[in-house]
Amino acid sequence: MLLTLDLNDPRPLHEQVAGAIRRAIADGSYAPGDRLPPARDLAGALGINANTVLRALRELRDEGLLEFRRGRGVSVLSRPDAHAVLVEAARELLAEADRYGYGPEEVIHIIREIS
């Protein structure tokens, strides 16, 4: 799993990790039944604390996307619905636009220009 974090993103790291895992599941990188790498391995690859990754995994478990099994690790239960994925993508787009000084109305205008 190739996850990346944007250290300039104002969102908390655990939200960024959860979003990246959510996208990996949505785009088919992980299918229902697949096991995720251990939290410690993910944390090491991302250069963050394992507790941050665990917080993201618990959030996804609470959403019904992941299942924790003692001795078996964390596995994917289901794919997120398309609406949830688009909402997450829209939040990320608006956050990125805000960093460049664009407001929501300007982003909507840009989207209308390209569609």
pLDDT tens, position by position, for the chain (115 residues)? Answer: 668 788 788 889 999 999 899 888 888 888 999 999 999 999 999 999 999 999 999 999 998 899 999 888 999 998 777 787 788 889 889 999 999 999 999 999 999 999 8
Co-location of 69 and 14 in the same domain: yes
| Opening angle at CA 22, ends 5 and 59, nearest 5 | 90
Q: How many domains does the chain have?
A: 2
Residue 1 lies in a domain: no
Co-location of 69 and 91 in the same domain: no
Co-location of 96 and 71 in the same domain: no
Q: Specify the DSSP class assigned to residue 70.
A: T
CB under 8 A, 24+ apart: contacts of 6-15: 8/99, 9/95, 10/95, 10/99, 11/95, 13/48, 13/52, 14/52, 14/53, 14/55, 14/56, 14/59, 15/56, 15/59
Co-location of 73 and 87 in the same domain: no
Q: Can you give the pLDDT at residue 86?
A: 84
Co-location of 36 and 53 in the same domain: yes
CA distance linking residue 107 with residue 105, whole number of Å: 5
Residue 40 lies in a domain: yes
For 32, the domain range is: 7-80
Cβ partners under 8 Å of residue 59, min gap 6: 14, 15, 18
Q: Can you give the pLDDT at residue 1?
A: 60
Co-location of 47 and 71 in the same domain: yes
Q: pTM score, two decimals?
A: 0.71
Residue 113 lies in a domain: yes
